[in-house]
Amino acid sequence: MMKLFKIVYNSFLWAMTIAILCFKNEWLQMRVNTGYIFGGLLILSTMVVLFVFRKQEVVFNSLFTAGNLIICSVIGLLMYGGERMKVVPAALVREGIHQTRIPFSKINLILCIITAAGILIIGLNDILKIIQADR
**pLDDT of the chain along its 135 residues, tens only?**
888 899 999 999 999 999 999 988 888 888 888 889 999 999 999 999 999 888 887 778 889 999 999 999 999 999 998 888 888 899 889 988 999 899 999 999 999 999 999 999 999 999 998 888 887
What's the maximum distance between 2 C-alpha atoms anywhere in the chain?
57
How far apart are the C-alpha atoms of 94 and 84, rounded to whole Å? 15
Neighbours of 14 (CB within 10 A): 17
Is the Cβ–Cβ distance between 28 and 92 less than 8 Å?
no
Q: Exposed, middle or buried: residue 64 (CB in 10 Å: 0-12, 13-18, 19+)? A: middle
**What pTM was computed for the model?**
0.87
